[in-house]
Structure 1
C-alpha cells in the first residue's frame, strides 16, 4: 500500500497531522474493501475506476454515509493516486474518472443540536454517578458546547493553557496549526473550576485525563463517550463534532454577527461560518410538518 512513503509525501506537501491520519485511514478502508471484493491482496496498480465507483456505491447504499464523508474519502484517494503516479508505483490514475459530487444544501448544513437536545445531552452527562468521571466529562463537552473547541483541540489542551482567573483558553493546535485564544462563559468556567479541583495535582501536563488519571484523553475515547450519549438520545446521525456546530448555531441564534462567530470558532474563511445560517434538516422537517393536516 506504500503507507509510510505516502505519509512522508504528505508531510513534504505540508499536510497537517490530522489530514495525514484521515488520508491513511481512507486508504486502509479502500484496501480492506478491495481485498474483500476481489479475494486478492491489495495492489493499487490493479484498481480500476469501476472498482472505485462500486466502492462509492457501497458507501452510499450499504453504509449510508453522508455525501460530505464520501467526498472527503474521494479527495483522499485522489491525493493517494497523485502520490502513486508521481512516485511510479501506479501506471494509471483511476481516480481521473471519479468525480466529487456537489452535495445538496441539506447535506452541507452542519448537524447541530437544538437547545432542548443540548439540555437533555447535558442531563445525561450529569447523571454519571462517579464524581471524577462526571466532572471531567462535563468539562469535556462544555469545552465544545460553550467555547466551540474541536475534539483535537480539547484533547491537546494542557493545564497551563487554562487560565481560570481570566477565563481564557490557549488553543495551540487549531486547524492548520493556527493558534488562538478562546473565551470561557460562566457555564464553561464553572465546569472547568469543578474539574480543576477534582483533577488535583498530577505529573501529566494534559488538562483532561483518561480514567487511569495519569494519561491524556484520546480522540477515540472522546468520540466513544460522546457517541454513547448521542445514541441514548436517539441522535444516530450526529457526531461529537455536532457539539461544536451547536456552539456556532447558538451564537447565530443569539444574534451575533458572522465575523464574531468566525473569530470565536477559529474559522479561516467567512464562508465556513455562513453554513450556520442555512436551515438544518430539523428546521426543514419542522417547516413541512407545520402544514400537514395530520397532527401526531
Structure 2
C-alpha cells in the first residue's frame, strides 16, 4: 500500500511570524475584538508585502525610511490598490506603529522605526452653512398657521439661529433661563453647554418676538397637558421636547421650504457663526457666543468666509478670471 506524502506547510516569513505574535498578544493580553484583530491583520499583510518587495525579510531590518515609504505608497496607490484618503492611510498606520512599538518593547528590535512617522492629517471639513435667504425661507416654513405647534417650531428655529445654540442647549432651556420683557437684561438667554458650562447670550429682535409669541400664545396650551415641567420648549403632551423631535421639526421645515440637502440643528449654528463673521464680527466674540473653549475651534469658520470672499471676487472682478 502506497504511503501518501503529506503536503508541507508553507513556512511563514520572519515578518509574518512577528505580526502573528502581536495579533496573538492583542487577542490574549489586550482582549481586542475580533473585528479589530482582522483589520490589523489585513493592514499588516499589506505592509509586510510592501517590505518584502523592498527586499526586507526581518523586523529588525526595517528603518524609518521604509515606514515613511509605505505611507507614501498608501497615499499614491498602486496597480493593485487605489490610493487611500488621509483618514484611511492614518488608520492603516495605526497598525504599523502599534506593531513596531510592541516589537521594540518586547526587545525583538533595537528601536521603533515607526515612532517618528506621523500619520497624514485629514483635510479640515468646512462647516456646512446656508445663506441668509435660505435661513429666512426655513424660518418662514416653520410657521404654518398660528397653532401652538407652529409657534413653538418657529421659536425653536429662531433661537437656534438667533444665538447659535446647540440643539441640546435649546431644548434644555428652562423658563428661568429666559429674560423677557423690556428691562435692561431683556432678550438674554442662559445656555448650558458642554461640561455644563454656562454662558449668557443675546437674542435678536426676531428671535425675541417668536419666543414671546410661543410663551404667551402657544406654550400654555401644551403645558396644561403635562406635569408642570419648567422647560421652555414642550411637546404636545406637555413634556420637554426631545432632540429627535427638534431634528424632525427642522427637516419638516426644510422640506416645506424646498431646501435640498440634509439640514440639521447644527446647520443653523454654523450659519449663525458664518454670518456673524461675514458681517465683521471679531472671532473672539463669536467664540464666546458659541461657547467654544478654544478660539482654534472657532477659527475654522474664517475658512468658510474666506472661501466666500474668493467666490464673490471671482464672479465680480473684471480681471479675476
TM over 0.5: yes
Q: 2: CA distance between counterparts of 1:50 and 1:227?
A: 42
Distance of 1:141 and 1:100 partners within structure 2: 38
After the TM superposition, list the runs of 4 or more consecutive aligned residues in structure 1 that deviate by more than 4 angstroms: 42-47, 280-291
- Alignment gaps of 5+ in structure 1: 1-41, 53-66, 79-98, 292-296
Is residue 142 of structure 1 aligned with residue 158 of structure 2? yes
The alpha-carbon distance between structure 1 residues 145 and 225, as it changes in their structure 2 partners (threshold 3 A), is same
SS state at 1:157 partner? coil
CA drift of 1:141 comes to 0.5
1:242 has 2:258 as partner: no
Structure 1 match to 2:196: 177
Pairwise CA distance, 1:263: 1.0
Alignment CA distance shift 1:122-1:43 (3 Å): same
Please give the alpha-carbon distance, in whole angstroms, between the structure 2 residues aligned to 1:284 and 1:242.
22
> What's 1:257 paired with?
282
180, 185, 188: which one pairs with 1:168? Answer: 188
Closer, same or farther: CA 279–161 of 1 in aligned 2, 3 Å: closer
Q: Once the two structures are superposed, what CA deviation does each residue of 1:117-142 show, in whole Å capped at 9, x if it has no partner? A: 1111112112x235111110011011
- Say which of 209, 213, 221 aligns to 2:245: 221
Q: What is the Cα deviation at residue 220 of structure 1?
A: 0.9
How well do the aligned residues superpose, as a CA RMSD in angstroms? Answer: 3.6
Structure 1 residues 146 and 101: alpha-carbon distance in aligned structure 2, compared to 1, 3 A threshold: same
1:157 touches 1:208 (CA, 8 Å); kept in 2? yes
Query: 3-state SS of the aligned residue for 1:181?
Result: strand
1:47–1:228 CA distance, 2 compared to 1 (3 A): farther
| 1:180–1:266 contact (8 Å) kept in structure 2 | yes
SS at match of 1:180: strand
Spell out, residue by residue over 1:10-61, the C-alpha distance to the aligned partner (whole angstroms, 9 max, x if none): xxxxxxxxxxxxxxxxxxxxxxxxxxxxxxxx85565423779xxxxxxxxx
Superposed CA offset, 1:262-288 (max 9, x none): 111111111222222213677777776
SS at match of 1:169: strand
Aligned to 1:136, the other structure's residue is in SS state helix
Aligned mates of 1:267, 1:236 — CA distance in 2 = 27
Counterpart-to-counterpart distance in 2, 1:227 and 1:49: 40
Q: How many residues align?
A: 211
Are 1:199 and 2:219 an aligned pair?
A: yes
**Of 296, 310, 313, the match for 1:271:** 296
TM-score normalised over the length of structure 1 = 0.60
CA contact (8 A) 2:284 2:295 kept: yes
Within 2, Cα distance between the matches of 1:189 and 1:238? 23
Say whether the 8 Å CA contact 2:134–2:259 is kept in structure 1: no
What residue number does 1:36 align with? none
Please state if 1:118 is matched with 2:135.
yes
Partners of 2:239 and 2:205 lie apart in 1 by 28
Contact 1:155 1:217 in 2 (8 A): yes
Residues in 2 aligned to 1:229 and 1:244: alpha-carbon distance in whole angstroms: 16
1:32 — aligned with what? none
Which residue of structure 1 aligns with residue 39 of structure 2?
Answer: 48
1:33 paired residue number = none
